[in-house]
Structure formats: structure tokens, C-alpha cells
């Protein structure tokens, strides 16, 4: 169990500076247990704590773990340059909490993206040493051929890579294939398809380890908190002990 003062609780949950949180409390904009709380120095047990700020219900979370179905034309950056940042799709409090994407998707790539303010989780999920597989569906300019699949499985050479890169592949239909990667090199899927003699016209990430976009049921642009079971699945993926049912 952990106790904190109310102003520190609000600050830790992304409601702004400590002074701003105190102002919210003094103004009667914070309710705990159904009662208006006006003493910013009052202490509360944080585990499972529910509270309201400006009429919105929140649950205390020591860390935030989120899955987002990324739409096109959003950048995975806290300082986007040409398109809106993905954090604009999430509550403002997440930006104050320094929530960050686990890896990146290109601005025109869509699909499953994990985000968190837990540095250990981000490292475990994104480190190439952990070999967490990412599953993509690529739509190609020209029809998918046996030759294309063979080249991708056997390895294609990219200019800035010392050795050929390989990928698990499976044809889905005439111009779509599933590609599974563990490396996560810059623009890897697109560049591999070009090197293999085709061209990617659309790319969607459908799974990170055993977490699948279909099972999460997120519409494009929607997000959700990962529940304890989904977090255990993600942890198993990063530890190389995956075996739990997909989320």
C-alpha cells in the first residue's frame, strides 16, 4: 500500500504542476469517494484509488500501459514536424506523464502501437535483444509472387546493412502478404519489398507479440488501457516465455 498527498497524486497522474493541482483542489474540482476534497495535503491510499477531476472519473495508475490503433498521417514523435503527433489522440494527462510510444511507426503506417511511461516496459518491448515479433500486413503495388516470398525468406540486401535481412512471410491474397519481423530496422518492410522487386503501397501492423489488434477490438484512432492479463502476455513476449493465449 502507498499513501500520497492529494496534490502529489494529481501531479503523478498528469494533471499539471503541483501548484496547478493545488488550485484544482482548492476550487472544488476534485472529488474522492464521492465527496469534494479541498485539502491538498490530505493523504490517500493510492492502490486502486478512484477520483474525479472536473467531473471525469480516473483510476490511479502508477504507470500507464496503452494500446492504440494508429491511423495514417500521425507521427510517432513528441515533437512532430509535418503531421499531428499520436499523443494528440490520447488524454492530455498522458503528455504530462511523459507517455511515449514503444518503437515507432511511419506516419503513413497504421495499426497496433503500444505506449507507456514505464521505461523498463518500453525497453523490454523494443530492445532487439528480446526478439518480440511484430506482425505486419503489407499491400503491394504488383501481385505477390512465389519469387517475392522466396527472396524475403532467403534474405535481401539493403544498402546500409552488413548482412542480408530475412523475414517470415505468408501470402494473404493477390496483393497482400503478412510479414513478421524481430529486428525493427528503419523502414524495414518497405525497403525489403523494394529490394525484393516489389513496392509497398500500404502497411498495417496487426500484432506485437501475442497482442493482436483484432482481439483488442480497437477502431482506427481508438485506444485502451492494457489489462493485467494483456500486460502478462506482453511481459511473457519480452521475456521469451510467450505461451499465454493472445489478448
Give me the average pLDDT of each 10-residue run along the chain (247 residues): 90 96 96 94 94 95 96 85 90 93 91 95 84 92 94 89 88 95 84 92 94 94 94 80 44
> Which of 184, 99, 178 has its CA nearest to residue 86?
99
User: Do 223 and 121 lie in a common domain?
Assistant: yes
Residue range of the domain that includes 191? 133-208
Output the nine-digit C-alpha cell for 30. Answer: 476534485
User: Do 23 and 121 lie in a common domain?
Assistant: no
User: Do 125 and 216 lie in a common domain?
Assistant: yes
Angle, helix 119-126 to helix 228-239, in steps of 10 degrees: 50
Residue 245 is assigned to a structural domain of this protein? no
User: Do 14 and 113 lie in a common domain?
Assistant: no
User: Do 41 and 146 lie in a common domain?
Assistant: no
pLDDT tens profile 4-20:
999 999 999 999 999 99
What pLDDT score was predicted for residue 247?
Answer: 35
Structural domains of the chain, count: 3
pTM: predicted TM-score of the whole model, two decimal places: 0.90
What pLDDT score was predicted for residue 244?
Answer: 38
pLDDT tens profile 98-116:
999 998 898 999 999 999 9
Q: Is 47 an annotated catalytic residue?
A: no
User: Do 74 and 164 lie in a common domain?
Assistant: no
Quote the CA–CA distance of 58 and 49 in Å, as a whole number. Answer: 8
User: Do 37 and 157 lie in a common domain?
Assistant: no
Which residue out of 7, 47, 106, 118 is catalytically annotated?
106
User: Do 223 and 199 lie in a common domain?
Assistant: no
CATH number at residue 25: 3.10.290.10
Residue 244 is assigned to a structural domain of this protein? no
Amino acid at each position: 500500500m502507498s499513501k500520497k498527498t492529494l496534490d502529489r497524486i494529481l501531479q503523478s497522474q498528469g494533471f499539471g504542476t503541483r501548484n496547478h493541482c493545488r488550485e484544482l483542489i482548492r476550487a472544488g474540482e476534485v472529488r474522492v469517494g464521492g465527496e469534494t476534497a479541498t485539502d491538498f495535503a490530505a493523504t490517500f491510499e493510492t492502490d486502486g484509488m478512484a477520483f474525479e477531476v472536473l467531473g471525469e472519473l480516473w483510476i490511479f495508475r502508477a504507470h500507464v500501459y496503452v494500446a492504440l490503433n494508429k491511423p495514417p498521417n500521425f507521427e510517432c514523435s513528441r515533437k512532430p514536424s509535418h503531421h499531428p503527433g499520436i499523443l494528440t489522440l490520447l488524454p492530455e494527462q498522458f503528455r504530462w506523464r511523459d507517455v511515449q510510444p514503444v518503437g515507432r511507426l511511419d506516419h503513413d503506417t497504421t495499426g497496433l502501437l503500444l505506449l507507456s511511461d514505464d521505461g523498463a516496459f518500453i525497453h523490454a518491448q523494443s530492445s532487439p535483444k528480446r526478439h518480440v515479433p511484430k506482425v505486419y500486413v503489407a499491400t503491394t503495388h504488383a501481385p505477390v509472387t512465389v519469387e517475392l516470398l522466396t527472396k524475403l525468406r532467403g534474405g535481401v540486401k539493403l544498402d546500409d546493412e552488413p548482412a542480408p535481412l530475412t523475414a517470415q512471410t505468408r501470402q494473404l491474397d493477390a496483393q497482400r502478404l503478412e510479414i513478421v519481423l524481430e529486428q525493427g530496422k528503419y523502414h524495414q518492410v518497405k525497403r525489403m519489398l523494394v529490394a525484393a522487386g516489389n513496392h509497398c503501397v500500404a502497411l498495417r501492423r496487426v500484432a506485437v507479440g501475442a497482442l493482436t489488434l483484432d482481439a483488442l477490438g480497437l477502431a482506427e484512432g481508438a485506444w485502451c488501457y492494457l489489462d493485467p492479463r494483456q500486460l502478462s502476455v506482453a511481459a511473457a513476449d519480452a521475456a521469451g516465455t510467450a505461451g499465454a493465449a493472445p489478448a
